[in-house]
Amino acid sequence: EVEEITPEVIEMAGGAGSSLGTGGMATKLQAAQVAMSAGVNMVIASGSEEGALRRILQGEEVGTVFAARESHLRVRKSWLAFGKRLQGDLVVDAGCVKALEGGSSLLAAGIKAVDGDFEVGSTVRVLAEDNREIARGIVNYNTEDLRRLIGHRTEDFEQLVAGAVHEEVIHRDNMVLMV
């Protein structure tokens, strides 16, 4: 098991592999670095060994396991949830709550009210109408512009706010659910 790909591990990998492959172990280690950084475990095993994949999936110790590190996305979402100062609240309708819980971005059409004074890039809470906190996220609009946009569809934005370029008030990649 490899928990960290160090310069020593990379040096041990050497150059290109067989005449059948294109990258050898060094390329496999690069793939392992990407997988580990994304929070995914990876196994390198011999493809010529009969039933290797099936045995790996059954939990047998086959090949070399590269253990996942904490995902950058998970770290970022934790920072959004607990590391940033909250600048305001957005109250959303029940349909919007359902859409957010299903993985959607926050659109202006589902927003009922805006509270606080914030700028683009501020972190806000997203509340249901019963005051339950649904999510936290980074807004693409300031308070003044957002008050003009709430309840409207994206295609109306250009008429309501000059230079409105974002479809989402909060993109799902910049939001963490709190429920």
The CATH homologous superfamily to which domain 75-177 belongs is PUA domain (2.30.130.10)
Structure tokens at 6: 């160090």
Note the pLDDT of residue 82. Answer: 79
Q: How confident is the model at residue 86 (pLDDT cuts 50, 70, 90)?
A: very high
Place of tokens 């059409």: 109
Note the pLDDT of residue 16. Answer: 46
The pTM of the whole model exceeds 0.75: no
**Torsion, Cα of 106, 109, 112, 115 (10° steps):** 50
Note the pLDDT of residue 134. Answer: 95
What are the tens digits of pLDDT across the range 11-36? Answer: 777 644 445 555 678 888 888 887 77
Note the pLDDT of residue 11. Answer: 79
Note the pLDDT of residue 90. Answer: 98
Kindly state the percentage of the chain with pLDDT values over 70. 89
DSSP 71: P
How many residues does the structure list for the chain?
179
**Lowest-confidence region among 64-68, 79-83, 89-93, 101-105:** 79-83
Distance, in Å, from the CA atom of 21 to the CA atom of 44, rounded to the nearest integer, reads 14
Where does the chain hold its CATH 2.30.130.10 domain(s)? 75-177
Nearest residue to 38 (alpha-carbon basis) of 68, 65, 10: 68
Over residues 152-177, mean pLDDT = 92
Helix H or strand E encompassing 145: helix 143-149
What are the tens digits of pLDDT across the range 116-150? Answer: 999 999 999 999 999 999 999 999 999 999 999 99
Mean pLDDT of the chain, nearest integer: 86
